[in-house]
Structure 1
Amino acid sequence: MSLNISLPAELENRVRDHVASGMYGSASEVIREALRLFEAYQTAQAASFVSLQADIAQGMADAHAGRVGAMDMTAIKTQGQAVLRAKTDAA
């Protein structure tokens, strides 16, 4: 199947740059790879969403069963800031 598409000048230039770099043999190869990566990203996002829904359902079940405790919001905030700081320092 053949398909013609129109791209804004910036994207067209980026496709041409990828071909010129020698990493791809044609604009079609660049677009195929971009689509493959986009689909992989969408699949990962969907899996992440399903996992989040399962975590929420588990949390709700725990709450309904009385398996909850008091939360120290200051400690949670401090711990979250430490995690972010560690990620920033590692980058």
Structure 2
Amino acid sequence: MNIQIQPELEKIIQDQIATGRYANAEDVISKALKLLLEWEKGYQDWVDETRDKVNIAIEQLDRGEGIEGDIVIEQLRDKLRQARDVQG
């Protein structure tokens, strides 16, 4: 496979080779692609987990298990005050 790379990306590749961690451009690109696949899997896991949590929350709201907005805001303010006091 023959690809063209933008100059700024080529500089990143050359900089990585210069560190001595990689022998050549193929090693750098291979590592970058592996990291991309790991990131995409992690992102998809996050999306799936978030979707599940939203669905659970919707079911809870449908059952009338929600909390009034002003109560939630006051609870958040209390947590912020506690965090500020701990740092204090």
Shorter-chain TM range is: 0.7 to 0.9
Structure 2 CA distance for aligned equivalents of residues 13 and 49 of structure 1: 33
Structure 2 CA distance for aligned equivalents of residues 79 and 39 of structure 1: 40
2:48 aligns with one of 31, 47, 50: 50
Corresponding position of 1:31: 29
SS at match of 1:56: helix
Counterparts of 1:63-82 in structure 2, within 5 Å, are 63-72=61-70, 74-75=73-74, 78=77, 82=80
TM-score, structure 1 as length reference:
0.77
Q: Which runs of 4+ in 1 moved over 2 A?
A: 71-80
Q: Choose 1 or 2 for highest CA Rg.
A: 2
TM-score, structure 2 as length reference:
0.79
Identity %: 21
Unaligned runs of at least 5 residues, structure 2: none
Corresponding position of 1:13: 11
Unaligned runs of at least 5 residues, structure 1: none
Computed over aligned residues only, the root mean square deviation of the Cα atoms, in angstroms, reads 2.3
Structure 1 CA distance for aligned equivalents of residues 8 and 75 of structure 2: 44
Residue 76 of structure 1: how far off its partner (Å): 5.7
